[in-house]
Amino acid sequence: MSRLFDPFPLRGLTLRNRIAVSPMCQYRAVDGSPNAWHQVHLGSRAIGGAGLVIAEASAVEARGRISPGDTGLYRDEHIDAWAPITRFIRQAGAVPGIQLAHAGRKASMDLPWRGGAALAPDQGGWSPIVAPSAVAFDAAYKTPRALTASELPDLVASFALAAQRALAAGFELIELHGAHGYLLHEFLSPLSNQRDDDYGGSFDNRIRLTLDVIAAVRAVWPERLPLMLRISATDWLDDGGWDIEQSIELARRVKHMGVDLIDVSSGGNLPKVRIPVGPGYQVPFAARIRREADIATGAVGMITEPQQAEAIVASGDADLVLMARELLRDPYWPYHAAKALGVAMPVPEPYQRAW
Ligand SMILES: NC(=O)C1=CN(Cc2ccccc2)CCC1
């Protein structure tokens, strides 16, 4: 028997297996609208057998994009652009999800293959770049403007409005982006959050914005649809940064607020920290959160082999495995994994002759 190919009940949905396409920025959007690239990129991975296909980090406001190529749900016209994509994913048997994001102090950057440098407004970028505090990510990034407490309700409302657009676009799962050094993570971590108001200092104050966003999104997101939260479990700093203990406590808090699964990544908030990257290097964090906060978790990070993915789920380290680059290399990885694990997995009729 394979645990990786067990169905996964999540609120009113059932994922056909434990394999998820991790949100991966494509930098191919124009003014936030997805296009044929996203249709084929995401559609082919739905055909490829993943149970959940999560569309890339999509900005809840224009200035919250990482780059000019980011998708968004900050305008109503984005709804019609996403609709054929979610329909196709669902018709292919996968659940269509989307990651709602705000890049915070990492916004307004050039495309990675164009160097990824900070973009000035006259180079296609924008300003202001906003963050919890006026602290740049590093010397190559612009110094952001600290958001005032009075601006935060509108920011929280932008997440809720984007969630309503996501529903209208046909998405059935939302993941909130609280990782990788973007806005919510910037509020969580004392390295980037140096505020002295109710949103900075203590743990309770630093998680406040994330909890506000969760409450606002859950209030508009249907009861029967799942809500996930991606976090960076640690800033990888021995002391002083965000760490796994705080992540476990955050997971305990959000479990009672209608978050169904914690998607456990790491890093992104410190430019030069050494991260022990390797196969499944973040799985131990997902395992600790799953056991100590008693909430479903997703494991992500250098998961490439069928037996590796199977062991993560079978051992109870995580409920879901999210794959990124391996699924860029091979959209049909789930079929190969099913064969390797001796599982009979249905293949779309037009493709059956090949398998
Ligand atoms: N939208 C994202 O979350 C992105 C994550 N990246 C990898 C990454 C992993 C871990 C920490 C930082 C960046 C690349 C850029 C886009």
For the segment 115-126, the average pLDDT, to the nearest whole number, is 97
What's residue 290's pLDDT? 99
For the segment 166-189, the average pLDDT, to the nearest whole number, is 99
> Do the domain assignments include residue 94?
yes
Rounded Cα gap, residues 143 and 118, in angstroms: 10
Q: What's the CA-to-centroid distance between 216 and ligand 1, angstroms?
A: 25
To the nearest whole percent, how much of the chain has pLDDT over 90?
99
CA 209 to chain CA centroid, nearest Å? 17
In short, whether 267's Cβ falls inside 6 Å of ligand 1 is yes
For the segment 71-79, the average pLDDT, to the nearest whole number, is 99
Tell me the two tokens of residue 42.
């995401």
> Do the domain assignments include residue 204?
yes
Chain position carrying tokens 């990544």: 265
Q: Which DSSP category does 23 fall into?
A: -
The predicted-structure confidence for 274-321, as pLDDT tens digits, reads as follows 999 999 999 999 999 999 999 999 999 999 999 999 999 999 999 999
Q: How far is CA 256 from CA 101, 136, 157, 251, in A?
A: 22, 34, 21, 9
Question: Is the pLDDT at 1 greater than 90, yes or no?
Answer: no
What's residue 332's pLDDT? 98
What CATH number is attached to the domain comprising 255?
3.20.20.70
Rounded Cα gap, residues 274 and 127, in angstroms: 31
CB 262 within 8 A of CB 179: no
Q: What's the CA-to-centroid distance between 266 and ligand 1, angstroms?
A: 9
> Do the domain assignments include residue 2?
no
Q: How far is CA 109 from CA 4, 273, 286, 322, in A?
A: 37, 21, 30, 26
Domain count, the chain: 1
Which are the catalytic amino acids? 182
What's residue 261's pLDDT? 99
Query: 14: part of which helix (H) or strand (E)?
Result: strand 13-15
Tell me the two tokens of residue 345.
């997995």
Q: Which value, to the nearest 10 degrees, does the dihedral of the CA atoms of residues 182, 185, 186, 189 take?
A: -150
Q: What's the CA-to-centroid distance between 345 and ligand 1, angstroms?
A: 31
Q: Which DSSP category does 64 fall into?
A: G
Total-model pTM: 0.99
> Do the domain assignments include residue 3?
no
The predicted-structure confidence for 227-240, as pLDDT tens digits, reads as follows 999 999 999 999 99
CB 63 within 8 A of CB 143: no
CB 108 within 8 A of CB 142: yes
> Do the domain assignments include residue 175?
yes
Other beta carbons within 10 Å of 343:
18
> Do the domain assignments include residue 126?
yes
In short, whether 156's Cβ falls inside 6 Å of ligand 1 is no
Q: Which atom of ligand 1 is nearest to the CA of 66?
A: 1
To the nearest whole percent, how much of the chain has pLDDT over 70?
100
CB 341 within 8 A of CB 308: no
In short, whether 180's Cβ falls inside 6 Å of ligand 1 is yes
Q: What's the CA-to-centroid distance between 279 and ligand 1, angstroms?
A: 17
Chain position carrying tokens 């064969």: 339
Rounded Cα gap, residues 146 and 109, in angstroms: 18
Q: Which atom of ligand 1 is nearest to the CA of 56?
A: 1
For the segment 211-228, the average pLDDT, to the nearest whole number, is 99
Q: What is the ipTM of this complex?
A: 0.98
Phi/psi zone of residue 93: left (φ > 0), alpha (ψ -120 to 50 degrees), beta? left
Question: Is the pLDDT at 54 greater than 90, yes or no?
Answer: yes
Residue type, 243: D
Residue 233: name the closest of 323, 318, 145 by CA.
318
> Do the domain assignments include residue 102?
yes
What's residue 217's pLDDT? 99
- State which residues form the domain around 243: 8-354
In short, whether 268's Cβ falls inside 6 Å of ligand 1 is yes
In short, whether 25's Cβ falls inside 6 Å of ligand 1 is yes
* Phi, psi of 109, rounded to the nearest 5 degrees: -110, 155
